[in-house]
Chain A
Amino acid sequence: MPPRVVLVTGVSRYLGSRLAAALAAEPSVERVIGVDTVPPRPEALPQLGRTEFVRADIRNPLIAKVIATSEVDTVVHMNVIATPLGAGGRTAMKEINVIGTMQLLAACQKAPSVRKLVVKSTTAVYGSSPRDPALFTEDVEPRALPKSGYAKDAVEVEGYVRGFGRRRPDVTLSLLRFTNFIGGYIETPLTRYFSLPVVPTVLGFDPRIQLCHEDDGIEVLRRCTLEEHPGIFNVGGTGALLLSQAARRVGRPSVPVPAPLVNVVARVFRQAGLVDFSPEQMRYLEHGRMADVSRLAEELGWSPRTTAEAFEDFVDARASFRLFPTEAVRDVERRVLSLLTRSEEAVRA
């Protein structure tokens, strides 16, 4: 049964407003209610269409009233914030993430109209350590639980979501663990990282990274909202890119930083407002993380684009900043060859 009234938290942020727009374009959905503490950005307004906006803090019991009076049947929780900068400090971020989720779930539990809950989580809950299996499946026990920041918040949020699932077994629960987002428009710490003139890496490490294209992320959220897909799913592209390889693909030289200095360098970047990388993400820069995304593909009968394709889209959208464009490198190669050899065939091959 398609949802009638959908509530989307975190609607003023990029992915939230895009999902709300996608749901508003769906004729079967009667009402789309967006909730956030700040109004949506003006440029997002035209595509938001018939989305109704409620300025409310999910940490506030007011949210229960919204759910009850509008008889919300589907709640999409996208208000778990990854960066302290956007939230106004780590304390506020933690409060929004954890207390906000608790309040929202409490409100959902009390509302008999709620039949479906979709939660946007992250594969960061698996942590990142040298003792990890190459690919995390949804039911694997992480070897090293994240101890701080966004990842820890996400682990706690998932804990409360599980508790909610126990208390309201009648609610369809989709817990989506997204890998890092990338694409032509989205702004994340990772996109800012790859936009730096030189990409700092940890000396002696070259992690595997896995990416999810923003459009595919929205598509997965949309499908899980409109259709019934209960369970926990890793969401991301298949295949890996090495960090060094990704840096080469955007045409950025990478600068290895010795491990003892990494935190100092990260703090400098953070304070300069360049890249908001928290300490637990520094571990990601050492050991990386890959998740097995086959369960989602089986459930939906559809696959997001691969990590390489998603990254290609990001590179193309910002083509202006490629330092070594593939064509230029090819050209140099051809010239060197024709300079050194006499055989045309070698050049052509």
Chain B
Amino acid sequence: MPEARVIPLEPREGREARRATRAGAAPTVVPEPAAASTPPSDWERKLAGGLAFLRRRLTGDYVVDDFGFDADLTEHVLLPPLRPLYDTWFRVETRGLDHVPDVGGALIVANHSGTIPVDAMMASLALMDHHPAHRNLRLLGADLVFSLPITAPLARKSGNTLACTADAERLLSAGEVVGVFPEGFKGIGKPFSERYKLQRFGRGGFVSAALRTGTPIVPVSIVGAEEIYPLLGNSKTLARLLGLPYVPITPLFPLLGPLGLVPLPSKWIIEFGEPILTAHLGGAAAAEDPMLVFNLTDQVRETIQSTLYTLLMQRRSVFF
């Protein structure tokens, strides 16, 4: 049998030219020991960083905290693909980031919407990239998140944990910024016709966690997330069958299949409101006072709702 001949797919001149330009991009054309003095160029530094990252992953040489937060993976793998979504697709505008402290615990309470928790990811990115102290947002998620394969380890590795008082208090007393969406599935899975109407705020567990640890509550209003996947209908039968809280029907999904998963490019505003201080209220004793807890919950809810209306008035259109 004759041997297979290797046929170059590109004319030699083309390849030669490309190689030449690549060589030109390198800092200096001195392969001698003198090269030791040349500082590494940008892409060389990136390459070294990438290889070091691969080496760390391959040998397990990284640290996860008690909650399973893998800072190395989050920084290098999980967050980067979200950045174009944040910067160019949703053009997120943040306001009042200085209301989140540079050090110490804070409880971020935000409205929840958008069918898929994209708002949670964008809020994390806002604090990571645009806050002067580059803080990690530790979100509290529903137990469904932690029982599903793939989402469970992803949620833990990106710094989230189960929404329960024990975890919230542990994170807050460790001085972390904790994020919570008290509306839960009622908020994220509400029909499009009810957009920007806050749902019931759980049982106020987040307020007692903040009271017990004496951390400030930062009410956050997110505008824009409601329009990314307008929820027109909910296939209740299918949801019950799959054990999910809802199965969304949006204008594009499931009509266009996977293409329907592309979010609409709405313009986002995330406003971090004036913090509500809790340190002076009396700590654990205050958390045992249901009236105080209810009042604070209402105060947070009202603040977010009124800020949402203000932001909606200022918004010129959904997409600009």
The finding on whether chains A and B are genuine partners in a shared complex, rather than unrelated, reads yes
In contact, A346 and B26 (Cβ under 8 angstroms): no
- Smallest distance from the beta carbon of B39 to chain A beta carbons, Å? 6
Question: Which residues of chain A come closer than 8 Å to B48, judged between CB atoms?
Answer: 337, 341, 346-347, 349
Chain B residue numbers with a CB within 8 Å of A343 are 27, 35-36, 38-41, 44
A330, CB-defined interface residue at 8 Å: yes
Count of interface residues, chain B, beta-carbon cutoff 8 Å: 48
Q: Judge whether A133 and B26 touch: CB under 8 Å.
A: no
Contact B40 A346 (CB under 8 A): yes
Please report the C-alpha to C-alpha distance between residue A206 and residue B156 in the assembled complex, in whole angstroms: 9
Give Cα A349 to B70, complex, Å. Answer: 23
**Smallest beta-carbon distance A224→chain B, Å:** 24
In the complex, identify which listed stretch (A40-48, A76-84, A85-93, A245-253) lies at the interface while the others stay far away: A245-253
Residue in chain B with minimal CB distance to A336: B51
CB distance from A290 to the nearest CB of B (A): 6
Does B68 sit at the interface, judged by CB under 8 A? yes
A330 touching B66 in the complex, CB below 8 Å, given contacts A342-B38, A343-B27: no
User: Are A239 and B66 interface neighbours, CB within 8 A?
Assistant: yes
Contact among A208, A326, A340 with B156 in the assembled complex (CB-CB below 8 Å): A208
A-contact bits for B143-165, CB 8 A (1 contact / 0 none)? 10011111011001100011010
| Contacting residues, chain B, for A344 (C-beta < 8 A) | 35-36
Of B38, B48, B64, B156, the most chain A CB neighbours within 10 A belong to B48
Q: Does B274 make an interface contact (CB < 8 A)?
A: no
Chain A residues contacting B28 (CB-CB under 8 Å) are 342
Q: Nearest Cβ distance between residue A216 and chain B, in whole angstroms? A: 18
Report B48 CB to chain A, min CB distance, Å: 5
Whether the Cβ atoms of A324 and B59 lie closer than 8 Å is yes
Contacts A205-B153, A344-B35; is A333 near B52 (CB within 8 Å)? yes
Report Cα–Cα, A205/B38, bound state, in Å.
Answer: 45
Asked if residues B68 and A342 are in contact (CB atoms below 8 Å), the reply is no
**Residue in chain B with minimal CB distance to A311:** B60
Query: Is residue A259 contacting chain B, with contact meaning CB distance below 8 A?
Result: yes
Q: Which residues of B contact A239 (CB under 8 A)?
A: 63, 65-66
CA distance A349 to B45 in the complex (A): 9
Residues of A within 8 A of B31 (CB): 342
Asked whether B134 is an interface residue with its Cβ less than 8 Å from the other chain, the reply is no
A-B residue pairs, 10 tightest by C-beta: A204-B149, A248-B60, A346-B40, A130-B147, A206-B153, A249-B60, A130-B146, A133-B166, A344-B36, A343-B40
Give chain B's interface residues, CB within 8 Å of chain A. 26-28, 30-31, 35-36, 38-41, 44-45, 47-48, 51-52, 54-55, 57-68, 70, 143, 146-150, 152-153, 156-157, 161-162, 164, 166-167, 170
* 8 A-B interface contacts by CB (under 8 A): A130-B147, A137-B166, A208-B156, A239-B66, A241-B64, A333-B51, A342-B28, A343-B36
